């Protein structure tokens, strides 16, 4: 990192924005900045002191500032209400305690990390990401749109994420890994409404086995289906074929496809149980 020449402590978003250019990088928790190789930036702008550390409860939604740490989210009783606790659960399964103490919400979604725990949660909750662009203008982007690219542009800052609180929804989150503190083998989240025994507005998101994505084929298939009459095998088959599962050295494509189906089957069964 010897090429790094400057470290800036701005006091506001505007000031931070004014420093951003091609050879400048934002630093939040810094857990990725410090370990990643091949860096070319000459200047770092620390955004942890510009007032982006907050968790605000509003009517039916929660705003979380981008430099809020994973631990702060875990400790928050407001966050526990988001997605019936799946955001809290996802946070608890990120890395380990001293890392959770520094990893930030923004840092977990600003770049694409295959193992990142939060993107699938944002996807199934229909979160919105508020980005401030070079001119200081705020843009609101839906998680679904954002994660198509999964990268904020140079010169822009993720300001906050807005989470709707939909406590009447069913939500599940799963990180499957070899040990408790491990990069995930498969990450997935599921959210849907149970209206009189039928699935409404299902959201399914997976990552690690493929680039983080929602699985619209299965969402379509499930829409309006009665839970009690669900052909779970068909659902699983569709899921396995609609996700482009890649293998990695830890586990084969076949195993990951199998796992994907099993984990989703269990989520659906739990939804059935809960509805009873």
Partner 1 sequence: MTQKVFEGKVVGKSVAKIDSLSLALGKPLFTDDKSFKDMVYVKMLFSPHAHAEIITIDTTEAEKVPGVLGVLTYKNASQVLHTTAGQGYPEPSVYDTRMFNKKVKFVGDSVAAVAAESIQIAEKAIQLIKVEYKVLEPIFNWDEALGNPIIIHDEEEAGYLIPVFYDSKNNHVAHIDALVGDIDQGFKDADILVEKIVRNHYAQHCPLEPHVSIAYFDENDRLVVRSATQVPYHARRIIAQVLDLPIAKVRVIKPRIGGGFGSKQEIVTDLIAASFTLQLKRPVKLEYSRREEFISARTRHPMTTRLKAGVKKDGSITAMDMRVTSNTGAYGTHGLTVLSNTGSKTLPLYHCDNIRFIGDTVYTNLPIAGAYRGYGGTQAALAMEIVMDELAIQIGMDPAEFRLKNHIKPGETSPIFKVLGEGTEGVEQTIDSCGLSDCIKQGANAIGWWSREDHKEKFNTETKKRGFGLACIMQGSSIPHIDMAAAYAKMNDDGSFNLLVGATDIGTGSDTVLAQIFAEVLNLDIESDIVVLSSDTDITPFDKGAYASSTTYLSGMAVKNLAEKIKKQLLDYAAEQMDLPVNELELVGKTVFHLKTKKSMSFAEIGTKALYTENQQQIGAVASELSKKSPPPFCAHFAEIEVDIETGKVRVLKYVAAVDCGTPINPKLVIGQTEGALVNGLGYALSEHYYFNAQGRMLNPSFGNYKIMTTTDLPEIETIIVKTYEPTGPFGAKSIGEPNISGPMPCLSNAIYDAIGIRITEPPYTPDRILKAIKDHQQVM
Partner 2 sequence: MALEIEVIINGQQKVLTIEPYDLLIDVLRREGYKSVKRGCSEGTCGTCTIILNGRAVKSCILLAAQAHKGSIVTVEGIGTRDQPHPLQQAFVEEGAIQCGFCIPGIILSAKALLDNNQSPTKEEVKQAMDGNLCRCTGYSGQIKAILSAAAMMRGEK
Ligand X SMILES: Cc1cc2nc3c(=O)[nH]c(=O)nc-3n(C[C@H](O)[C@H](O)[C@H](O)COP(=O)(O)OP(=O)(O)OC[C@H]3O[C@@H](n4cnc5c(N)ncnc54)[C@H](O)[C@@H]3O)c2cc1C
Q: Which is nearer to partner 1, 131 or 186 (CB)?
A: 186
- Find the shortest distance in angstroms from Cβ 242 to partner 1: 21
**Residue 139: strand pairing partners:** 131
Measure the CA–CA gap between 193 and 166, rounded to whole angstroms.
9
For partner 1, the binding residue among 38, 40, 77, 179 (CB under 8 A) is 179
| Binding residues vs ligand X (CB under 6 A) | 25-33, 35, 47, 66, 94-95, 99, 102-104, 106-108, 110-111, 113, 115-117, 152, 157-158, 183
Tokens matching residue 227: 């839970």
Q: Nearer Cβ to ligand X, position 146 or 170?
A: 146
Q: Provide the mask over 62-101, with x wherever binding to partner 2 is found by CB under 8 A and - wherever it is not.
A: ---------x-----------------------xxxxx-x
| From candidates 18, 25, 30, 156, binder to partner 2 by CB under 8 A | 30
Which is nearer to ligand X, 60 or 153 (by Cβ)? 153
Q: Are 95 and 117 contacting, i.e. CB atoms less than 8 angstroms apart?
A: no
Residue from 44, 158, 188, 259 touching partner 2 (CB under 8 A): that is 44
Q: Is 178 in the site for partner 1 (CB under 8 A)?
A: yes
**Region for residue 150 given its phi and psi (left: phi exceeds 0; alpha: psi -120 to 50; beta: otherwise):** left
Which runs of consecutive H residues, i.e. helices, occur in 64-139? 70-75, 86-92, 97-100, 105-109, 119-125
**Cβ nearer to partner 2, comparing 182 with 217:** 182
Q: Could you say whether residue 180 binds partner 2 (CB under 8 A)?
A: yes
Tell me the C-alpha distance between 208 and 231, whole Å: 26
- Give min distance, CB of 95 to partner 2, in A: 7
Residue 27 near residue 35, CB atoms below 8 Å: no
CB atoms within 10 A of CB 63: 18
Using alpha carbons, select from 139, 111, 141, 138 the residue that is nearest to residue 128: 141
Phi, psi values for residue 169, rounded to 5°: -90, 160
Q: Report, in Å, the least distance between residue 42 CB and partner 2.
A: 9
User: Whole-angstrom Cα distance, residue 72 to residue 74?
Assistant: 5
Closest to 191 (Cα-Cα) out of 104, 87, 66? 87
Nearest approach in angstroms of CB 215 to ligand X is 20
Residue 180: helix, strand or coil by DSSP? coil
Interface ranges with partner 1 (CB under 8 A): 2, 96, 176, 178-183, 185, 249-252, 255, 258-259, 262-263
Interface ranges with partner 2 (CB under 8 A): 1-2, 4-7, 9, 27, 30-31, 33-35, 44, 46, 48, 71, 95-99, 101-102, 180-181
């Amino acid at each position: 990192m010897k090429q790094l020449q400057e470290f800036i402590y701005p006091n506001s978003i505007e000031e931070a924005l004014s420093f951003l250019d091609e050879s400048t990088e934002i630093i939040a928790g810094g857990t990725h900045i410090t370990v990643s190789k091949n860096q070319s930036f000459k200047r770092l702008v620390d955004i942890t002191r510009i007032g982006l550390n907050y968790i605000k409860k509003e009517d039916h939604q929660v705003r979380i500032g981008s430099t809020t740490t994973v631990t702060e989210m875990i400790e928050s009783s407001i966050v526990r209400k988001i997605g019936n606790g799946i955001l809290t659960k996802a946070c608890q399964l990120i890395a380990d305690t001293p890392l959770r103490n520094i990893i930030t919400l923004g840092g977990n979604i600003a770049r694409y990390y295959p193992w990142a725990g939060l993107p699938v949660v944002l996807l199934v909750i229909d979160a919105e990401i508020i980005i401030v662009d070079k001119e200081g203008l705020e843009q609101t982007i839906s998680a679904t749109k954002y994660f198509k690219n999964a990268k904020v542009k140079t010169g822009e800052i993720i300001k906050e994420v807005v989470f709707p609180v939909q406590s009447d929804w069913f939500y599940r989150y799963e990180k499957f890994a070899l040990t408790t503190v491990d990069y995930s083998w498969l990450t997935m989240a599921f959210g849907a409404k149970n209206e009189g025994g039928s699935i409404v507005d299902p959201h399914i998101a997976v990552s690690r086995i493929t680039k983080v994505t929602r699985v619209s084929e299965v969402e379509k298939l499930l829409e309006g289906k009665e839970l009690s009459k669900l052909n779970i095998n068909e659902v699983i088959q569709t899921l396995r074929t609609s996700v482009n599962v890649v293998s990695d050295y830890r586990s084969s494509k076949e195993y990951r496809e199998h796992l994907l189906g099993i984990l989703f089957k269990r989520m659906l069964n739990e939804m059935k149980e809960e509805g009873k």
